[in-house]
Amino acid sequence: MTREIVIDPVTRIEGHSKITIQLDDRGEVVDAHFHVTQFRGFERITQGRPVHEMPAIMARICGICPVSHLIASSKAVDDILAVEPPPTGADLRRIVNLGQIVQSNALSFFHLSAPDLLFGFDADPAKRNIIGLARANPQLAKDGIELRKWGQQIIEWIGGKRIHPTWIIPGGMAQPLTAEVRDRILAGVPEAIAAVERAIAWYKTDMVRWEEEASTFGNFRSAFMALVDRNGNVDHYGGWLRVIDADGKFLADRVDPHNFNDYIGEAAEPWTYLKSTYWKAMGYPDGIYRVGPLARVNVADRMGTPRADEELEKFRWRVGRVASSSFHYHYARLIDTLHCIEKIESLLRGPDILSKHVLARAQVNRNEGIGVSEAPRGTLMHHYKVDDDGIVQWANLVIATGHNNMAMNRAVLQVARHHVKADKLTEPMLNRVEAVIRCYDPCLSCSTHALGEMALRIQLMGPDGAVLDDLAR
């Protein structure tokens, strides 16, 4: 006889989901699933729209990372127009994208995950939140707020609006950068670097406390994928796709992102709206790989900026050349953030950053286009087909959380096997099952393009569907 534990929905992530844990008649975990229970369907509702509208529409997928969709969508439309944005236009897009990664990473680490790390996974949920964080470690809480605010200001000042910015358009940017905005952003760089370096120092000091979690939170062998530049450094905007195996060996390198369909397949399961992508050469479901901050630090030779490279060296000394535990997403996310800040400064100090030439104009010159960039949670792909009038006929989005779907399911199973010892639901067990999902910082709004409410309900169900246990938070 098998029984089933249901955690519905999962909290402190972006969107709506539930987790089910299957028990056998001895109370042992035999399987676990991470279900995404929401659906909106941007790929269908955009059919029939003029292609120039796509970035603005796609940005509405998510309120946390709209810039990522603007970037990938604009790049896909660039491809259809057969234009390349002028170098300054591309650099401004890079800066906005990096600003968004800073604010999103700050949300994930400081606001969503730090309470677990600071108070412990077994602490009272009434205390284990941002208010509790502010009381116990005000500097950490303040650093998170200031980093997020700085990243959002970059989006607002360069992109035109804090959420759903409008200045990133096909062909480049709608407006050039002013010296005043450049200087305002640069003025915040020293404090932003100090904030994230304080967090890294705190994390490294305390990480010994989380050794058990590091060994059981999605600690398995898999491939990793990210974009790298021509020198093998992390590239959040362009470059080539690189995929490594669990030992760091290249499965593919210098893959033109336009050819991603040759390498990546998508599978659908009846129990979730979230698609699972897989490495075609290994087939489904064996072709599991991970994307996001952990993949970026694993895949790249270097970050490409001095402070982040110094921290990357320490990271690899501590956890190995290829970190296998998903718990290390947290650590990697901080290094990723540090790199983004350094890169923003370097781009803003470029000699042509105030150039007025930021936009290339063209009409439809191709019937198909692909845009790929790194979003906070990993590699993001937009693929469109249009008719000769530029009307969208077909669209497909491959989202970071979809790349990570199989890895998240495996991580939930691993944590459940480690912590679920009986058929009675307990808070500590639930906290850890949820927390392992939170390592990936999944964005379900993005992955299914929908919104969700946050609450927690857990049910333990028998094989006939009867509720054996019920827990609500």
Partner 1 sequence: MSPGAAGTLIVGYGNSLRSDDGLGWHVVARLAQDARLRGANVLWRHQLTPELAHDVGQASLVVLVDVSVEQEPGVVSVRRLEATSSAGSAWSHHLEPESLVALARELWNASPDVFVVSVGAGSLEVGERLSPAVEAALPKVVETVISLVTEHDAGA
- Contact residues: partner 1, CB under 8 A: 12, 14, 63-64, 107, 111-112, 126, 129-132, 134-135, 138, 141-142, 144-146, 148-149, 152, 163, 454
68 CB neighbour count, 10 Å cutoff: 30
Cα–Cα dist 194/188, whole Å: 10
CB nearer to partner 1: pick between 291 and 456: 456
Residues 6+ apart with CB under 8 A from 201: none
Question: Rounded to the nearest whole angstrom, what is the least distance from the CB of residue 134 to partner 1 in the complex?
Answer: 4
- Residue 125: Cβ-neighbour burial (10 angstroms; 0-12, 13-18, 19+): middle
Three-class SS state of 221: coil
CB nearer to partner 1: pick between 151 and 257: 151
CB nearer to partner 1: pick between 7 and 461: 7
Question: Rounded to the nearest whole angstrom, what is the least distance from the CB of residue 11 to partner 1 in the complex?
Answer: 8
Tell me the chain's radius of gyration from C-alpha atoms: 22
Question: Rounded to the nearest whole angstrom, what is the least distance from the CB of residue 42 to partner 1 in the complex?
Answer: 15
CB nearer to partner 1: pick between 138 and 306: 138
Cα–Cα dist 371/257, whole Å: 8
CB nearer to partner 1: pick between 76 and 140: 140
Question: Rounded to the nearest whole angstrom, what is the least distance from the CB of residue 54 to partner 1 in the complex?
Answer: 19
Cα–Cα dist 181/287, whole Å: 45
Residues 6+ apart with CB under 8 A from 15: 36, 38, 442, 443, 444, 445, 447, 448, 450, 451, 452
Question: Rounded to the nearest whole angstrom, what is the least distance from the CB of residue 225 to partner 1 in the complex?
Answer: 28
Show contacts of 317-323: CB within 8 Å, 24+ apart: 318/204, 318/207, 319/214, 321/248, 322/224, 322/244, 322/246, 322/247, 322/248, 322/298, 323/294, 323/297, 323/298
How far is the CA of 407 from the CAs of 257, 276, 377, in angstroms? 22, 9, 13
Question: Rounded to the nearest whole angstrom, what is the least distance from the CB of residue 111 to partner 1 in the complex?
Answer: 4
Q: Where are the beta strands (DSSP E) in 195-316?
A: 223-228, 240-244, 250-255, 264-267, 276-279, 289-290
CB nearer to partner 1: pick between 149 and 316: 149
Instruction: Give Cα 160 to chain centroid, integer Å.
Output: 23
Question: Rounded to the nearest whole angstrom, what is the least distance from the CB of residue 81 to partner 1 in the complex?
Answer: 29
CB nearer to partner 1: pick between 171 and 188: 188
Residues 6+ apart with CB under 8 A from 390: 50, 51, 52, 80, 363, 364
Say if residues 450 and 66 touch (Cβ distance below 8 Å).
Answer: no
CB nearer to partner 1: pick between 63 and 320: 63
Show contacts of 17-22: CB within 8 Å, 24+ apart: 17/437, 17/442, 17/444, 17/452, 19/412, 19/433, 19/434, 19/437, 21/412, 21/416, 21/420, 21/433
Question: Rounded to the nearest whole angstrom, what is the least distance from the CB of residue 113 to partner 1 in the complex?
Answer: 10
Which residues partner with 373 through β-bridges?
Answer: 380
CB nearer to partner 1: pick between 279 and 329: 329
Question: Rounded to the nearest whole angstrom, what is the least distance from the CB of residue 95 to partner 1 in the complex?
Answer: 19
DSSP state of 359: B
Say if residues 101 and 340 touch (Cβ distance below 8 Å).
Answer: yes
CB nearer to partner 1: pick between 246 and 451: 451
CB nearer to partner 1: pick between 64 and 407: 64
Question: Rounded to the nearest whole angstrom, what is the least distance from the CB of residue 131 to partner 1 in the complex?
Answer: 5
| Token pair listed for 344 | 């923003």
CB nearer to partner 1: pick between 146 and 269: 146
Question: Rounded to the nearest whole angstrom, what is the least distance from the CB of residue 145 to partner 1 in the complex?
Answer: 5
Question: Rounded to the nearest whole angstrom, what is the least distance from the CB of residue 402 to partner 1 in the complex?
Answer: 21
Task: Count the alpha carbons within 13 Å of 130 in the hemisphere toward its beta carbon.
Answer: 13
Q: Report the run of H or E that residue 20 belongs to, with start and end.
A: strand 17-23
